[in-house]
Amino acid sequence: MTARDRVLAAVRAVAAWVDDPSRGRERRRRLAAALRRAAPEAAPAAPARAAGPLRPVLEQRRWRAGACADLEAALAAGDPRGAEELERLLRHVELRRGDALAEIEPPQDRAGVARERAAVCSLLARQAPARRDVRLLNAALKLADRFAPRAPRLVGSAAAADWARALSDVESALAELERQCASRC
């Protein structure tokens, strides 16, 4: 399947979802139920937050493990540095594409990298409707398309559960942005 075919398939899928939003709700409900059945004991990736002020999440192109919690707390508090860091993260994902979040400090195994990427995907998706910024949703979709594990046995059930939650967040963000667009029209 070529990239053009994948884009056309995605456009058709979004068009079908927009025509029938109940399908999107049903798919999210099924995904949540499957997630509860598949990994009820797996907790979402919630690394410990660092004490003190927000440190840069991207230090010399290296992602700092656990930075999502710090960044989300800064954004919730209205810290302007949080918005700057979110913009840096967005640019990193857009420019690095397949190498996005490849260098994590401290070094992680394959499952750790997958969980960090899922946490970033989820963060971008949750911030998209809150900031009414489609670029954030686009970056989350790019991360999901590139890195969502197609073989969970390679990354483990905890990372697969994190990706399922991230994909659920992406679906919810898409639905919320669609509602926001519909309310403006």
pLDDT at position 46, please?
A: 47
Q: Which domain holds residue 167?
A: 24-33+53-183
Quick count: other Cβ atoms within 10 Å of Cβ 96? 14
In a domain, 42, yes or no: no
| Best CA proximity match to 161, nearest among 45, 25, 65, 69 | 45
Angle (deg, nearest 10), helices 80-96 and 67-76? 130
In a domain, 40, yes or no: no
Instruction: Quote the DSSP letter at residue 57.
Output: S
3-state secondary structure of 174: helix
In a domain, 6, yes or no: no
Instruction: Quote the DSSP letter at residue 98.
Output: G
Question: pTM value?
Answer: 0.68
What amino acid occupies position 131? Answer: R
pLDDT at position 15, please?
A: 52
Question: What's the domain count of the chain?
Answer: 1
**Which portions of the chain are predicted below pLDDT 50?**
18, 45-51
pLDDT at position 99, please?
A: 74
Q: How far is CA 166 from the centre of its chain?
A: 5
